[in-house]
Amino acid sequence: MGRFSKMHGLGNDFVVIDARAQPIAMTEARARAIADRHAGIGCDQLIVIGEADDADVSMQIFNADGSEVEACGNATRCVPLFVGRDVTIRTKAGLLDARLIEGGASVDMGAPRFDWDAIPLAYAMDALTMGASWEDLPAPAAVNVGNPHVVFFVDDLDAVDTARLGPLIEHDPLFPQRVNVNFAQVAGDNHIRLIVWERGAGLTRACGTGACATAVAAIRRKLMSGPVTVSLPGGDLVIDWQPGGHIQMTGPATHVFDGEADWSRF
């Protein structure tokens, strides 16, 4: 039997497995089976905590479809709560610092990248105002915050068919590694409403990296200055970024329950 914790950040939920004492061989099929909400444990993402030579812990992230991804902001906030102290975390996106605060965590998410080949896009274009769009959506911005994001600033978020447009854009050939799709509306001074279609997971209650990418895009377009409050369906995150610097993300993290499972059955 293996132990796991169920955790969430603003409703973006995770199965967290500690593989430091009891290693687990994680495959795409196993991750997908564990994440299944009907026949498995159920989650948006599966998180595997392991050892690291250059950090306190390592973190592997698997989406509900079994695909492994580089970054997950909401999961990163859960790691210090899971470990019980401030930690440095080795991820595929780089080294992250996460510290506990009252009710959650604050994470240094590193520096965003804007070059077309770093996002990545299929061919060269301006990532701040892309020379591409879909249907009636305005020209988006693209940002890599450890994983690829495209951000659309719309006048009326409630009028956007996010469930239909999200997968259409996620799988567009312009994005060779697929993409997280952010639909944003400026709601006030330094305040954004956001809905995210997450690559490999679909519509989620919250997306930490999406909030980071959207706040950075808004600041770059001079729509506002940091810190920015990003309101997602699951609640609010505060994102602070100054051009040339690192992104600081602050928000809730919640431990729901602990359990045991026989991983050989997945």
Residues comprising the chain, all counted: 266
Contact partners, residue 78, CB within 8 Å, separation at least 6: 7, 8, 9, 14, 16, 47, 105, 253, 254, 255
User: Per the residue annotation, which of 43, 78, 207, 212 is the catalytic one?
Assistant: 207
The reply to whether 212 belongs to the active site is: no
Rounded Cα distance, 241 and 43, in Å: 30
**Closest by CA position to 208, among listed 115, 104, 114, 120:** 104
Rounded Cα distance, 63 and 75, in Å: 11
Local structure of 223: helix, strand or coil: coil
User: Per the residue annotation, which of 43, 72, 78, 212 is the catalytic one?
Assistant: 72
**Closest by CA position to 252, among listed 95, 70, 101, 29:** 101
DSSP lists the bridge partners of residue 148 as: 144
Give residue 189's Cα distance to chain centre: 24
Q: Give the residue ranges of DSSP H helices in the chain.
A: 28-35, 73-83, 162-170, 208-220
Q: Are residues 41 and 265 in contact, defined by beta-carbon separation less than 8 angstroms?
A: no
The reply to whether 207 belongs to the active site is: yes
Positions annotated as catalytic residues are 72, 207
